[in-house]
Chains A and B, each alone.
Chain A
Amino acid sequence: MLARYIIKRTLIAIPTLLIISFAVFMIIELPPGSFLDAKIEQMQREGQVDWAEIESLRERYHFERHVLIRYAYWISDYVQGDWGRSFETDTEVLQILRERLPVTMLISIFTILLTWSIAIPFGVLAAVKRNTVWDYLLTFVGLAAMATPSFVIALVFQVTMQKLWPNFDPTGLISPQYSGQPWTWAKLGDLLKHIWVPIFILGVAGTAGMIRILRANVIDELRKQYVLAARARGLHPALVVMRYPVRVAINPLVSGVGLILPGIISGSVIISIVLGLPTVGPKLIQALFSKDTYLASSIVFFQCILAIVGIMISDILLAMVDPRIKFGRQ
Chain B
Amino acid sequence: MTESDSYPPVGAGPGAPPPDFRGTVEMDEKAAEYYQLPQWKLMWRRFRKHKVALWMLHVVILLYVICLNCEFLAPYDPSAIHKDWINLPPQVLRFGFVEGSSLPRLYVYPFKMQQDPVTLERVYSVDRSRRIPIRWLVRGRKWTALGLFESNLHLFGVAGSYGTGSAAAPPGVPASAPATQAAASRPTSAPTTTSATATTPASGRAYSAPLARLARTERSDYPTCFLLGTDSLGQDLFSRIFYGGRISLLIGLTGVLLTFFLGIGLGGISGYYGGRIDMLIQRVAEVIQTVPKIPMWLALAAAIPKNWTSLQVYFAMTLILASMGWSGLCRTVRGKLLALREEDYARAALLAGASESRIIFVHLIPNFLSHITASLTLSVPGMILAETSLSFLGLGLRPPIVSWGVLLQQANRVDIVINQPWLLLPAVMVVIAVLAFNFAGEGLRDAADPYST
State the main secondary structure of chain A at its contact with B: helix
Complex contact B427–A152 (CB within 8 A) = yes
A149's partner among B287, B292, B304, B430 (CB-CB below 8 A) is: B430
Contact B302 A31 (CB under 8 A): yes
Q: A31-B304, A32-B305, A143-B435 are in contact. Are A269 and B287 (CB under 8 A)?
A: no
The verdict on A31 contacting B435 (CB below 8 Å), with A149-B389, A263-B292, A300-B296 known, is no
Q: Are B295 and A155 in contact (CB under 8 A)?
A: no
A146 within 8 A of B: yes
Using C-beta atoms within 8 Å of the partner chain, give the interface range for chain B. Answer: 35 or more
Given contacts A151-B392, A270-B389, A304-B290, contact A299 B295 (CB under 8 A): yes
Interface string of A299-314 (1 = CB under 8 A from B): 1100110111001000
In the bound complex, residues from chain B placing their C-beta under 8 Å from that of A270 are 389, 392-393
Is A307 a contact of B414 with CB atoms below 8 Å?
no
Q: Decide if B434 is an interface residue (CB 8 Å cutoff).
A: yes
For chain B residues 289-348, which have a beta carbon within 8 Å of chain A? 290-292, 294-296, 298-300, 302-306
Indicate whether A159 sits within 8 Å of B290 (C-beta atoms), given known contacts A28-B303, A299-B295.
Answer: no
Partner of B299, one of A262, A296, A307: A296
Taking CB atoms, residues of chain A closer than 8 Å to B287 are 16, 19-20, 23
A289/B302 contact (C-beta < 8 A), A20-B291, A144-B435, A149-B430 known: yes
What CA separation (Å) do A52 and B418 show in the bound complex? 48
B290: which A residues are within 8 A, CB to CB?
16, 20, 304, 307-308, 311
Contacts of A299 in B (CB 8 A): 295
Tell me whether B439 and A300 are in contact (CB under 8 A): no
* Residues in A neighbouring B418, C-beta threshold 8 A: 159, 162
Do B408 and A288 have beta carbons less than 8 Å apart? Answer: no
Interface residues of A toward B: which range?
35 or more
A147 part of interface (Cβ distance < 8 Å): yes
Tell yes or no: A111 within 8 A of B by CB: no
In the complex, which residues of chain B have a beta carbon less than 8 angstroms from the beta carbon of A262? 292, 295
A282-328 at interface with B (beta carbon < 8 Å): 284-285, 288-289, 296, 299-300, 303-304, 306-308, 311
Q: Is the Cβ of B408 less than 8 Å from the Cβ of A149? A: yes
A19 contact set on B, CB distance < 8 A: 287
Say whether A158 faces chain B, with CB atoms less than 8 Å apart: yes
Q: Are A304 and B291 in contact (CB under 8 A)?
A: yes
- Which chain A residues lie closer than 8 Å to B411 at the CB level? 155
User: Is A30 in the interface zone, CB < 8 Å from B?
Assistant: yes
Q: Is B20 an interface residue (CB 8 A)?
A: no
Residue of B nearest to A306 (CB): B292
Q: Contact at A155–B417, with CB atoms within 8 Å?
A: yes
- The answer to whether A155 touches B414, judged by C-beta atoms less than 8 angstroms apart, is yes
Q: Is the CB of A155 within 8 A of B424?
A: yes
Cα A146 to Cα B434 in complex, Å, equals 9
| Cα–Cα, bound, A152→B423 (Å) | 11
Contact in complex: B291, A307 (CB < 8 Å): yes
Which residue on chain B has the smallest CB distance to residue A31? B303
Tell me the minimal C-beta distance from B123 to chain A in angstroms.
21
Q: Which residue of B lies closest to A158 (CB)?
A: B414
Nearest CB of chain A from residue B230's CB, rounded to whole Å:
19
Contact check: which of A146, A162, A274, A303 meets B292 at CB < 8 Å?
A: A303
Additional A-B contact list (14), CB under 8 Å, known A151-B412, A158-B414: A16-B286, A27-B300, A146-B438, A147-B434, A147-B438, A148-B431, A149-B385, A152-B427, A152-B430, A162-B414, A273-B393, A285-B298, A304-B290, A308-B290
A residues bordering B, Cβ < 8 Å? Answer: 16, 19-20, 23-24, 27-28, 30-32, 143-144, 146-152, 155-156, 158-159, 162, 171, 262-263, 266, 269-270, 273-274, 284-285, 288-289, 296, 299-300, 303-304, 306-308, 311
Binding site for A on B (CB under 8 A): 283, 286-287, 290-292, 294-296, 298-300, 302-306, 381, 385, 388-389, 392-395, 408, 411-412, 414, 417-418, 421, 424, 427, 430-431, 434-435, 438-439
7 A–B pairs (Cβ distance < 8 Å), ordered by A: A23-B287, A147-B431, A155-B417, A158-B414, A288-B302, A304-B295, A308-B290
Going nearest first, the 8 A-B pairs with the smallest beta carbon separation are A147-B434, A288-B302, A30-B303, A262-B292, A152-B427, A300-B295, A147-B435, A147-B431
